[in-house]
Structure 1
């Protein structure tokens, strides 16, 4: 099995130590950087193997996470990135996702959840690179069976009609549950358990925010609010 190479970019030494130790226990190779400039200098001077994924803090000295994201995505758009961010940085989170970040976790976060999302994103990107043609054919075959929205659990990818959906891991987990339970009323507790299986730092408000973002991507009419209970997916 391929050893995953993770670039961890965070100016907080204790975060690098905790996350780096956990990743190494999972047999990941970890490259640590204290700011975006050091990570970028290493990237452009690197010959051969580049990291499989970047885990980025947003607020860092010299070069912050958003600036680094812009620079490295211009060179390697195929490499996924996860932001680590504080709960009050909603603007930065949205901006980061618009610039090409694939997911984000709010501090404090579960390291187990971070590891799970790293594995998901690397698997998704590997699937897209190796199976682009097969995926297109599979999507065309499965489209009638799943009506307008198609989800592929193996690759964590989804389509609405012929258009691929750009989703975070959390958003994919939600749309997968909605499609599988179309017409059923899902409580916030059920949605939290599906979207954050390893995360203990989640409340109802977090689910509401993700539902709001998901509605913008698939159409607000497809997710109905059932007041006092939760949400229902209707196609």
Structure 2
């Protein structure tokens, strides 16, 4: 199996060398960049397995870099790093396409753990897309105009392909495999994000909003991914009578 490659984008020289060194010690190949344009150039030359992307960058900030990377590479896994305390900045990062975020200051142990979990999820995604005999739990799911193929990790609405990020697909598949059952945000963080602690509720909300925008005919009145007030979210299996 090839060594996973990580692009670490950070303008602070000391932090860049410290984090890159720890990731290399863990067994990863690490490429670094100090500016937004440099990061885009690195990805253009070779698409990494994962990007660690600081928000505060010179020349082109991390949010714009994330937006451009997501547009060009829908399945690229992006973890944003932010030193800002304003939760809105982290939510905006998720809304422009980041899969996750880590707030500075962070421990190297926590960061490596998050990277390891992300790469494990990426590996499982690649294994699921490889040719294989379809088992019952991997059979396609169809709900009215929505079609989900767990093996190919494809989603179609009215026959048209919908491009989801890794997290968006995982969230939709998990909910669709448990139709009509409400889940709290903490439960979804545990099952979909592998996060077992509080403080990331808005991550779920942001991904739900993005998912609705892609699969719902009317995101403001969703047919599939429904809000359960006071609880969280559920997948509605059948169209309600009007």
Structure 2, unmatched stretches of 5+, are 133-137, 217-221, 238-242
Instruction: State how many pairs are aligned.
Output: 216
Are the aligned partners of 2:74 and 2:163 in contact in 1 as well (CA < 8 Å)?
A: no
Please name the residue that 2:240 is paired with. Answer: none
1:159 correspondence with 2:160: no
Q: By how many angstroms is 1:159 displaced?
A: 0.7
* 1:1-235 aligned within 5 A: 1-13=1-13, 15-17=15-17, 19-39=19-39, 51-66=48-63, 68=65, 77=73, 80=76, 82-86=78-82, 87-89=87-89, 90-91=91-92, 93-94=94-95, 96-97=96-97, 103-108=99-104, 110-111=110-111, 112-121=113-122, 124=125, 142-143=139-140, 145-147=141-143, 148-152=146-150, 157-161=153-157, 162-198=159-195, 200=197, 202-219=199-216, 220-235=222-237
TM (normalized to structure 1)?
0.68
Q: 1:78, 1:170 → 2: CA distance? A: 11
Q: By how many angstroms is 1:228 displaced?
A: 2.5
Q: By how many angstroms is 1:68 displaced?
A: 4.8
Q: By how many angstroms is 1:233 displaced?
A: 0.7
Q: By how many angstroms is 1:105 displaced?
A: 1.6
Q: Which has the higher helix share?
A: 1
Are the aligned partners of 2:226 and 2:234 in contact in 1 as well (CA < 8 Å)?
A: yes
Q: By how many angstroms is 1:215 displaced?
A: 2.0
Q: 1:203, 1:70 → 2: CA distance? A: 21
Q: 1:226, 1:78 → 2: CA distance? A: 29
Deviation sequence 1:160-200 (CA, Å, 0-9, x none): 34334333333233212211111212223311211321464
CA root-mean-square deviation: 3.9
Q: 1:227, 1:70 → 2: CA distance? A: 31
Q: By how many angstroms is 1:28 displaced?
A: 0.9
TM (normalized to structure 2)?
0.67
| Cα distance change of structure 1 residues 85 and 50 upon mapping to structure 2, 3 Å threshold | closer
Q: 1:56, 1:189 → 2: CA distance? A: 25
Deviation sequence 1:179-224 (CA, Å, 0-9, x none): 1111212223311211321464534333233222222222222122
Q: 2:69, 2:186 → 1: CA distance? A: 37
Are the aligned partners of 2:80 and 2:93 in contact in 1 as well (CA < 8 Å)?
A: no
Deviation sequence 1:92-123 (CA, Å, 0-9, x none): 543x43xxxx6342424742223322453476
